[in-house]
Structure 1
């Protein structure tokens, strides 16, 4: 009887997907939400699902990019993959992907099932789809209204990891690597020290507690913020000397690195992408696709979840860096990306009230968690700090970092008229913008009237 009901629900869900396409909607989760409402264990009834060929990708940063890289490489090698490339990473998004890529009787078409999964809902998804493979990119401070602090997320992921599971973990991220204690098989991926690695010796620098003994973690250097070669000052827990897969010989100028004896082209040359590449190579290697084949696929890779938008405005070019502003690591990475451009520039930053769920809230500590020194010494001609919520707090962080107060304009408002009027005062055409996605979309909607 359950099987008959599953088939009826599946047909109804497929019809819903058809209607979404007809109306020009993506429908990344609606069909799955409908199906799961009618049958709570809906996903368990699909057939042709091999747990050994099922992989979840979770963690704070890098899930979408890594998912896209792995799927692109596997498909380029001729593999059939069922996935949620659109980023709908809750159980409803996973269900929708399986509805879309299955027969009328529920036989999944993909030989491999690769899903980006939200770290808070990993256990719920695993309950219905017990994958044998789990990738953990990193576990860091993120969206505190929903996620609390990193140890809360760590416990949620650790609850799923078991001795019947193979995990891929970041060798230079202490929380992720410490999950080795719970898994049956551990495969580590790593990035060797390179020309853009750095050390911290600033007043605002903080470290983290060891996930095994709660004492101090010391980083020898960082490849990206809070990720690098480390050791615990008490129990001796440290990044492995010989990881399973390691990116070496990074050449940012020529956009290449070496991995598993192969020279690999970098589709994107920012340092944080290197860990995505290393993880993709590690996973593909396990699925029988070598580094040479993966390297070839990277040459045609374009990231679906783009992070840089180029917008012409009068004589200017606005470079919008899309980030989660509730995440200090991605904010620091954005700062580091801007600092690589040594040409004179205008910097617009609008950190906003965080509207996740009510009651909405504001905080100021994200900017104080970030290293701003390289940004402030990268030839910024003027900074415009706007936001009804935290414009002055953001400006103060830059001033405390050493940026001249007389080169900062504070706009305690979210009015686009005020922002663009201030931008028009400067003849510098090289403009960088950091703000949350909703504000960016509002600015782009109003852009034509200012031109």
Structure 2
């Protein structure tokens, strides 16, 4: 089915896997990969880290890397991916399988496939009507980690992720990554966060600083939680020059946000674990862009726009922070949809900190819930006369580029690809007929 759909020029997506999964919930056991499987999970950053790792492995001489570049990170999507590459007997020949996996599906998928390395990036509230509270997701992954004895690469600056290293005391392959304080870190919680209490003893955590949300340098004054050896640490973060240091080597990146640095630190940790040459890592960090709506750049005449996917408060807050750290006047496009894949409940927009706007001269609201995001921004104290509501994306992009200057765009899950398409249409001078 997958091959037939591709021959027809269609993106197979989840459909073939959905059909197989419906017939047999244990179908993943039929696949027999002859290579290591590396999985990336967490609320934000999965696609970026997965794409980066696949790129770095390919540059290291691996000719056959199988990965789900387009997302499709549920059990049905993984099924579709493996169907596309397996033989008639279920064998899969590759150097590596590098998989982006939804947090809630980690236990399901890897109860049937042998996982070698699991990378966990972060845990935030996300799509509450689908996932429930964040603790529900954490406990699902923790349950899996209790019997997992493979490589476990954890964000040591997220107390909800670091706790997974304690799930299986017999696993000696747990490795933590960390990013040193950068110049925009704060002494107090700047945005909505989840890591306020020690997951071991329940005592209130103390923070030396917050990088963003609840990510930062924490410790429990009662039981000592937060003290562990760091496998990979980024130091000397310079967001202006887009440089940092790791293991004594200096690296340059294409983006400078602290959010991006944590993604790269996860990539660096995995590359270090697998013995990838540092020069390959250095070149990748200096030149590779994931794009696809992840801090993707667009240029029109004298204006540059940065588009970023934000499907929860933390993602949106990070884009707002990136915008605020940029000097000069800025304009913002916010595209908010409420389709099934987004989560029908958009109340999460009230956890976005719009009150910190810095030199934002105009906001354009678009998407199926354009008026909701416009009202939310108005209620933050922003001047309502500077908010333009344009539910149609083509109209919204035209409005945004009616003036010059730096532009930023935030789009949630089902909005990001239509937003990219509208931007490309405008820049290319083509408008869809209505």
Is TM (by shorter chain) over 0.5? yes
> What is the distance in 1 between the residues matched to 2:31 and 2:255?
37
Find the structure with the greater CA-based Rg: 1
> What is the distance in 1 between the residues matched to 2:221 and 2:397?
50
Q: Give the corresponding residue for 1:63.
A: 46
Conservation of the 8 A alpha-carbon contact between 1:139 and 1:154 = yes
Q: Aligned to 2:314, what secondary structure does the other structure show? A: helix
Q: Give the corresponding residue for 2:211.
A: 223
Deviation at 1:272, TM superposition (A): 1.0
Q: Greater CA deviation, 175-184 or 190-199?
A: 190-199
> What is the distance in 1 between the residues matched to 2:133 and 2:70?
27
Question: Structure 2: which 5+ residue stretches go unaligned?
Answer: none
CA RMSD of aligned residues (A): 3.3
Conservation of the 8 A alpha-carbon contact between 2:126 and 2:134 = yes
Conservation of the 8 A alpha-carbon contact between 2:43 and 2:126 = yes
Conservation of the 8 A alpha-carbon contact between 1:75 and 1:81 = yes
**Structure 1 pair 199/305, CA: closer, same or farther in 2 (3 Å)?**
farther
- Paired residues, number: 419
> What is the distance in 1 between the residues matched to 2:354 and 2:384?
21
Deviation at 1:409, TM superposition (A): 3.1
- Deviation digits for residues 329-381 of structure 1 (CA, Å, limit 9, x no counterpart): 101111011112222223343545x3327993341x534353742xx22x222
Conservation of the 8 A alpha-carbon contact between 2:157 and 2:215 = yes
Q: Structure 1 segments of 4 or more deviating over 4 A? A: 201-207, 309-313, 415-424, 426-429, 437-440, 445-450
Deviation at 1:250, TM superposition (A): 2.2
Conservation of the 8 A alpha-carbon contact between 1:207 and 1:216 = no
> What is the distance in 2 between the residues matched to 1:343 and 1:172?
31
Q: Greater CA deviation, 21-30 or 66-75?
A: 21-30
TM-score (norm 1): 0.81
> What is the distance in 2 between the residues matched to 1:101 and 1:141?
34
- Deviation digits for residues 4-43 of structure 1 (CA, Å, limit 9, x no counterpart): xxxxxxxxxxxx2222222212323333333334444332
Q: Give the corresponding residue for 2:257.
A: 270
Q: Aligned to 1:223, what secondary structure does the other structure show? A: strand
**Structure 1 pair 243/22, CA: closer, same or farther in 2 (3 Å)?**
same
**Structure 1 pair 394/47, CA: closer, same or farther in 2 (3 Å)?**
same
Q: Give the corresponding residue for 1:283.
A: 270
Deviation at 1:120, TM superposition (A): 1.1
Q: Give the corresponding residue for 1:444.
A: 422
**Structure 1 pair 159/295, CA: closer, same or farther in 2 (3 Å)?**
same
Q: Aligned to 1:254, what secondary structure does the other structure show? A: coil
> What is the distance in 2 between the residues matched to 1:272 and 1:35?
37
- Deviation digits for residues 372-421 of structure 1 (CA, Å, limit 9, x no counterpart): 42xx22x2223445623342233112x1xxx4x3654364x735698579
Conservation of the 8 A alpha-carbon contact between 2:394 and 2:431 = no
Question: Structure 1: which 5+ residue stretches go unaligned?
Answer: 1-15
Conservation of the 8 A alpha-carbon contact between 2:42 and 2:121 = yes
**Structure 1 pair 286/346, CA: closer, same or farther in 2 (3 Å)?**
closer
Deviation at 1:77, TM superposition (A): 0.9
Q: Give the corresponding residue for 1:6.
A: none
Q: Give the corresponding residue for 2:188.
A: 200
Q: Greater CA deviation, 17-26 or 438-447?
A: 438-447
Q: Aligned to 1:382, what secondary structure does the other structure show? A: strand
Deviation at 1:233, TM superposition (A): 4.4
Conservation of the 8 A alpha-carbon contact between 1:30 and 1:96 = yes
> What is the distance in 2 between the residues matched to 1:202 and 1:30?
41
Task: Kindly indicate whether residue 311 of structure 2 is the aligned counterpart of residue 329 of structure 1.
Answer: no
Q: Greater CA deviation, 270-279 or 329-338?
A: 270-279
Q: Give the corresponding residue for 2:349.
A: 366
Q: Give the corresponding residue for 1:10.
A: none
**Structure 1 pair 280/431, CA: closer, same or farther in 2 (3 Å)?**
closer
Q: Give the corresponding residue for 1:135.
A: 119
Q: Greater CA deviation, 109-118 or 211-220?
A: 211-220
- Deviation digits for residues 220-263 of structure 1 (CA, Å, limit 9, x no counterpart): 212233211112344331253x4111111223333322212322
Task: Kindly indicate whether residue 362 of structure 2 is the aligned counterpart of residue 382 of structure 1.
Answer: yes
Conservation of the 8 A alpha-carbon contact between 2:37 and 2:116 = yes
Conservation of the 8 A alpha-carbon contact between 1:385 and 1:408 = no
Q: Give the corresponding residue for 2:408.
A: 432
